Every structure is written in C-alpha cells, then in structure tokens.
Structure 1
Amino acid sequence: MDTELLKTFLEVSKTRHFGRAAESLYLTQSAVSFRIRQLETQLGTNLFTRHRNNIRLTVAGERLIPYAESLMNTWLLAKKEISHASQHSELSIGATASLWEAYLTSWLQESYLEREELRIESRVSTRQSLVKQLHARELDLLFTTEAPKMDELESKIIGDITFQLMKIASNKNEEIAQFIKIEWSADFQPFLSNGAVQKIDPILTTNSAMIAYQLMKTTQAVAFLPTHWLDLYSDLAPASTEIIQKPLFAVWLNTSDQQVLIQQLLKQPINHQ
C-alpha cells in the first residue's frame, strides 16, 4: 500500500474538493484524481461519488477513513522511531522530583558534555509508577534509593547520597516548631521518628526538595535536604548535626536492548558536591 494514496484520500475526504485537496498537498488536481483512481482500483470499489462540485464519500469510503487514519499514524510513528534510532542514542530515564533536583540534573549535564549525540527522555514520577514503567518496557533506566526486588531487574549501587536536617539561616529559633516532610524513600520514615521532629506533624508532605526549600523561606519549618545544598544555597543552615546516608541505585531490565548505552552512562559519576 502506497501511503501517499491514503494521505490523498484523507485530504479529499476532509475537504470534499479535489482542487482544495490538491492545494493542501502541493499537487495538481489531475495528480490527486489519479491517486484516488489508483486507490479505488486497488480496493476494487469507488470511494467517492462525483457530481460536478458535489463530492461525497461512498459507504466504502466512510468505512476506509478510520483504517486510513490508523495506518497513516502508525506509518508516521514508525518513520519517527526509525529516524531517531538511526541518528541518536535515545534513552528514557526516570526518578523522583527530588533526585532530579538534588543530584541527577547536574549528572545529566555532565553526560551531555561527554556524549553530544545523546538523546534523553527524563521522566519525573513516584518510585512506584516508575517501577511499573520499567517492568512494562516504557522506561529504560531508573534511579532510586530503594532497589526493587524483581528477578527481571538488574540493579547497581552507583554511590551514596546524604541528607541533613536544615533550616533557613535567618531563623534564629532554637526550637523546631514546623516540619516539611520530603518523601525521599519509603524507609526514610524511621529517621523522621527520631530527635527533634519526633512529635511534629508536617505542614507539607512533598516529593520535591525544591518545593520544600522554597516553602522554608516563608515558614519556620525544617526539612531533610541534601548536605551539599549547604554549599549551594547560602541561606540554608544545619538544624541538626546528624548526617543520614542512603545508597543510590541504578535499575534496569536485564533483557533491555539498551544495555550498552546504560553501562556507558553509568561510568559517569554522580557528583554530590
């Protein structure tokens, strides 16, 4: 099947006019008529009734429309995917908002400096959703502080990340009255039950460290933020001396066809400073 014939058919069915269809397709009117006749010959039936300027779809033409649209969409998607595959190294990477904000964006910048041809789709979602996407082959690589326990998944510890309870430096109040909970991981909860935040209900629960940081500026709240943010943001100060350390995992399908690219990317260290 010549997709140009389907494209011409859909344009004529939309405009109900051979001349306007020809203009849209940058063809002559005779070329449009010829293509429609070719398609009708291949299908063995008339697709339009022609009465002077009154062009109508036959029953067969009406039935062809959804199939033609589906075939054209599939063809365009196939062309796009094949074009990308032949020109670029494309990989989908997922993580929670906080991991992107605190660690992975700078790592991605370094990766692009090393590989100019790299094409990445970055996804931000919950860990649970990203694990499902990985299992469904909708995601190639997942960064997480908890490695999923599934036989079909490979995981590798690529470093450690550290957190510290912080406040805004201008907050001179020694007592902690408000707390913002950042959902770094499911097993981060035991740390929150210790020390100064033991009995405080969070004023906000979020999976974005940046949202927490911005809200801290307008409240007296504290939050567990990446330790290197003390160097990045001068208005932050420690609210506790305790350092919490978590492993950072890279996770992918052991049958992934992107194994080579994944291993190459994982050679790029994730800097925490």
Structure 2
Amino acid sequence: MSLLFNITSFEGSLQFLNDYLEIDPKSVIEYVKSDDNDVDVDGFIDIFNISLDKLEHENIEAVALHVTSNNDDCKSIKSTGLLNLQQALTMNTPIKKYLREFQIEFDVSNKLMWFKGNQFDITYNSSWSDDKDERLDSVARKVYFDHQINSFFSIQDVKDYGGRVHEKPEILHNLKELFKADVLEERWKQTCKPYVIKYKAPLDYFAYYSFYLEKYEYEEDYEEKTDLKFWLIKTALYVVWNMVHRRKMPQIFAYMKPEVSIIPNNFLVIIPLNPSD
C-alpha cells in the first residue's frame, strides 16, 4: 500500500509526517510552535532522531491539485484523464474544438499552426534573434517547452494565482496576444466553468524541478534520494509551520514530467469552483 504525500491541507501534512516518520501530530505542532521566525528542519531531524538513510521513498505517491476549466462538466477529463497541452491540442478535446471555432489549428508533431488558413511555423528556439516574433515565440514556448501538466502541492486559494488558470487555459492568453483577439479569452470565460482536479501520482511522475533547484542536484541524488527525503519532510513541516503561525497555506508548485498524463483512476476528487468567489 502506498504512502500519500498529501500537503494540500494542514491535516494531510501532519498525517504524512505521522505515517512517514511515526511522529504524532501533537509533537510536530509543539515543535513548529517553538520558533515563529522559521521552521528548523535540521533541528527537527536531530531532535526526533530521524535517519534519512533508513526512510523509504519508492512507495510514496504525491497528491496534487490541478486547476482547469471546461464546458462539458469534466466529461472529457473523466474519459481521457488529465492531458498535457500537446495531447490536448491533438486529441478531440474541448480546447481543440474551441480553437477550431476561431479557425485555429495545430499540427504539433510538425510544429505548425494555422489561423484562418494562414500557416505559422511554431518551432521553439530558446536563443534570441533580432527577427524573432516574441508573441509567436510565446505560443511556441507554451506548446514545446511548458506543455507539462502544472499543479500545486499546496495553495491557499487557486483563484489567487497570477496566471488565472481557473478562468482559462494559459495558451489562450498567448494566442490572444498574438492575434490581438480578446474574444479568445472572454468567450471561454463566459462559457466554461472552473474545477480543481485532486489526484495522486508516484513521485517519479513529477519533473525533477518539483523537488530540486538544479538538475545536477537531482542527478547527484539519483541513487540515494537523501535530498528528496529531506525535501518531503521540510515541505510538509513548512505547511504545518505556515498554518500554525500564519493561518495560511503556502504556494508550492507541482510539475509533472512532460510526457506524463494522469489517468482517471488516479483522480481523488473533482471540485467545482465558484468563479465569483
């Protein structure tokens, strides 16, 4: 049976620390209460005699919150699961159908896009050149560099996130800017409803930058996973500390590997949002 790294709530964070470290919630709360300036993870590990080498990581699944919107009451998502952007632009999804109404189509494999019959090369190149169209490049970047499923391990209110992902897919903003068509965003917001998909996935489904600042840190930690175990403890403690001292969930991002999709069986709950809240 898998162990859930569920820091989407105060209670979930305490439960993970209890299940993973066998430290009761009362002791964890008392520890974080001792310092209102920061959470001392090294001190926590010392006081409770935690040996990172003896901790497992293979059987852990992480819980994350994905924010989306659609006009079919999530019927497509319940059928196909959560898709990355490339899959969503290729398969028969609500966003592909929506873009077709505006005569926008993508050929992801050949790096092409059409708008009203006009063809655009959307090959993404991260290097700068004088003739680069920044607006077209932002579309290419979204499709070929930032197309993974983005979620949150923890957040107070998904509607406060600057990307306003509960209102519309971010790609619509890129297309709106490119074609100077506000209607691309506005009609979606008028016809679609927002949802949070709470799901679980094995740790190795998440991109390394969900847990590490640099790729070399991930590579050096590949075998032992000492830094990963430390991150799991530190981040769960950080959520508890924030709730005890600030009464607020911190914002912690969760990025899936680009090739990963989430099957419906891994959904824990689908939560409708009130967009006016």
TM-score range, shorter chain: under 0.3
Q: Greater RCO between the two (CA within 8 Å, min separation 6)?
A: 2
> By percentage of residues, which structure has more strand?
1
Q: Tell me the TM-score normalized by structure 2.
A: 0.20
